[in-house]
Amino acid sequence: MASTFGALCALTALFPAIVTSIPFVPRFVSENQILAAYDYVVIGGGTSGLAVANRLSEDSSKTVLVIESGPMDDGSEDFKIPYLGRGYKNFGTKYDWNVTSVPTASLGNRTIIMPQARVLGGTSSINGMQFAKGAPSDYDAWEELGNEGWNFKSLTKYFEKSENFTAPSKKLVEEFGITYDESAHGSTGFIHSSFPNFLWPQLKNWIGAMKSLGHSVSQDPANGGALQLFWSPSSSNPDTQTRSFSREYYDGARDRPNLHVLLETTVTKLLTSGDERIRVDAVEFSSSVGAPKKHVKVKREAVLAAGSIFSPQILQVSGIGPTSLLKSLGIEVVVDLPGVGANLQGHVYIATFYQMTNVSLSAANLTTNTTFYNEMYELYKAKRDGPFTNGGASNMIAMLPLSDITSDNLHSLLETPSETSYRDTSISKGYQAQLKILLRHLTTPKMAATEMLWFSEGGAILSVMHPLSRGTVTTTSSSLLAGIPAINTGHLSHPLDTKIFIETLRYTRKIIATHEMRELGLVEVLPGAEVNTDEQLEKAIRDGSGYMYHMTGTCSMMKRELGGVVDKDLRVYGVKNLRVVDASVQPLIPAAHVQSTIYAVAEKAADLIKAGSLWRD
């Protein structure tokens, strides 16, 4: 069977038309069934990987293999129901890589748990379902960094290509005043974006409070309005009120005979050859730690989509990374690329919390009253309504510029360099270039510095959107299977990040003091009314901040002399046929929850790969 299948597929490489006439192809292939070679081998069947694999396999003359370390999800409610998924039931299960950072000095040596999904669909299978793009300045900054063609305007068609937007119900529009601009959204993409059927009424107090302080509601984040207040959709199917995620890209392509998926198989190395221009000849993989290593040949390109933690690790163990690191681990240097694993950025948050003493019903009741919880669960199952449709912290987002939360002149802090663990000149130059661009934008109302979300249990989630702190991801062994890489988050190592947090916490107290919020009878529990001075607030932040898991930047798209890892076509420097397409290529994190941007970048990546800019020589 295996050899017949192999022979058939070898034939199809010569006569592509035959591909479509193969009568039966299993949805998933086993190690024994895979072809000896594929046009494209996609490493990681996650958020970005499945989007790219779907688009590449649209061309039936090309064979595509996806290698995913995790299994298929079990279809359980923990994946599907927004409210349950928000409880992050899949953390620490077999669907999680169980990533923990090294102790972070700037967080009082705390380690940070960083869930990373290990399942077909990747982290989009377990995330918080917030789905909005950033402001124009967030993407224009990528182009200013030297990445020609990467700006808000040119990315628009890719945001739209990935999305299928459904407008909110009349009932919610009337009750909450939801605004949107349907013309700025896609309607034919694989990822549903829509609104839950239910929002908690306290959100109205929060919106009223923000308005009373002079903030306006932008019409829609999709049309450039991701500043001030705006309504953000969720990645949710409006008909079933269930999670919409990257596996739908696979579902939409699984009948294609030229697309194979190898599950529960971990890529361990890229096998390369050549001197001047390195070529990826094959991808090595293993089904478990002790199992023999096998490999599959790459005819055209290898596509790295293992996410911001594992893509740099795969490059490093394959000899593509900082020479000093590679040598110290006895890894043969294939390409000296100092930026691999550097420039790690993410959104850190601090949550405030209040007791709501003048509220008869809120999300808090779901956690304190089992009868009520069960009633709402039944309502969801029967009518797809009620709070179980609502997964994210909030569908109302505030993205505020620095000047809205503080009148202090922060120029001197903006110019302070961060400590980076790599003392490489290109990385330092790249960081300076980023600072310059951020300085230019963060001093205007066109770039958000801080995000504020009301969450329905009674609190605010506050987050620094353009951190100046940088972290690193470094493999600790020459073997990928030896364990997760060392992650130094670097959080709050830059003084401006801490300053923005302090000012945002103070600003939150202004919001809480408005008439609209006082009506809820709020009593501050966290950080607590007695926490007041800069020093006290800073301590609360360092001890209490959490992570939004928006890791980006570790294989940054930047010029090579700035410490970049991929060029503007997402090709790894020094390698002929290798691209990175996941979150790690975003050189500056946008002021947004990153998944919609990841989908847009993946859609663009697929077009770049199809254009075959590599294969003219």
Ligand X SMILES: *[C@@H]1O[C@H](CO)[C@@H](O)[C@H](O)[C@H]1NC(C)=O
Ligand Y SMILES: Cc1cc2nc3c(=O)[nH]c(=O)nc-3n(C[C@H](O)[C@H](O)[C@H](O)COP(=O)(O)OP(=O)(O)OC[C@H]3O[C@@H](n4cnc5c(N)ncnc54)[C@H](O)[C@@H]3O)c2cc1C
Distance CA 40, CA 298 (A): 6
Residues 214-253 as x/- pattern, contact with ligand X by CB under 6 A: ------------------------xx--------------
Tell me which residue has tokens 């401006």: 496
Distance CA 71, CA 90 (A): 13
Pick from 176, 190, 549, 573: which binds ligand Y (CB under 6 A)? 549
- Closest CB to ligand X among 368 and 416? 368
- Closest CB to ligand X among 88 and 372? 372
Pick from 62, 192, 593, 604: which binds ligand Y (CB under 6 A)? 593
- Closest CB to ligand Y among 265 and 498? 265
What's the Rg (C-alpha) of the chain? Answer: 24
- Closest CB to ligand X among 1 and 529? 529
The distance of closest approach from Cβ of residue 369 to ligand X in the complex, given in angstroms and rounded to an integer, is 4
Distance CA 162, CA 489 (A): 30
137's contact among ligand Y, ligand X, none, with CB below 5 to 8 A by partner kind, is none
Residues 368-407 as x/- pattern, contact with ligand X by CB under 6 A: -x-xx--x--------------------------------
92 binds ligand X (CB under 6 A): yes
Q: Are 213 and 514 in contact (CB under 8 A)?
A: yes
Distance CA 560, CA 343 (A): 13
Pick from 67, 210, 296, 575: which binds ligand Y (CB under 6 A)? 67
How many angstroms from the chain centroid is the CA of residue 358?
37
70 binds ligand Y (CB under 6 A): yes
- Closest CB to ligand Y among 499 and 550? 550
The distance of closest approach from Cβ of residue 197 to ligand X in the complex, given in angstroms and rounded to an integer, is 13
Which region among 101-109, 423-431, 434-442, 445-453 touches ligand X (by CB under 6 A)?
A: 101-109
| 156 known member of a binding site | no
Residues 257-276 as x/- pattern, contact with ligand Y by CB under 6 A: ---------xx---------
Pick from 12, 63, 106, 123: which binds ligand Y (CB under 6 A)? 123
DSSP states along 151-180: SHHHHHHHHHHHEEE-PPPHHHHHHH----
43 binds ligand Y (CB under 6 A): yes
Residue of 73, 61, 1 whose CA lies nearest to 33:
1
Q: Are 598 and 48 in contact (CB under 8 A)?
A: yes
Catalytic residue numbers read: 550, 593
Query: Residues 467 to 506: which contact ligand X by CB under 6 A?
Result: none
Distance CA 158, CA 147 (A): 16
Which region among 14-22, 45-53, 275-283, 489-497 touches ligand Y (by CB under 6 A)?
A: 45-53
| 428 known member of a binding site | no
Half-sphere exposure of 226 (CA within 13 A, CB side): 31
Half-sphere exposure of 208 (CA within 13 A, CB side): 14
C-alpha distances (whole Å) from 472 to each of 106, 283, 340, 616 are 14, 25, 9, 35
Q: Are 525 and 560 in contact (CB under 8 A)?
A: no
Distance CA 76, CA 487 (A): 31
| 311 known member of a binding site | no
114 Rama sector, left if φ>0, alpha if ψ -120 to 50, beta otherwise = beta
Q: Are 210 and 398 in contact (CB under 8 A)?
A: yes
* Residue 6 token pair: 């192999």
Q: Which residues bind ligand X (CB under 6 A)?
A: 92-94, 96-98, 105, 108-109, 118, 164, 166, 188, 192, 238-239, 358, 360-361, 365, 369, 371-372, 375, 519
- Binding site per annotation, positions: 47-48, 119, 123, 267
Q: Which residues bind ligand Y (CB under 6 A)?
A: 43-49, 67-70, 88, 115-118, 122-124, 126-130, 266-267, 305-308, 310, 314, 392, 480, 549-550, 582-583, 593-595, 598
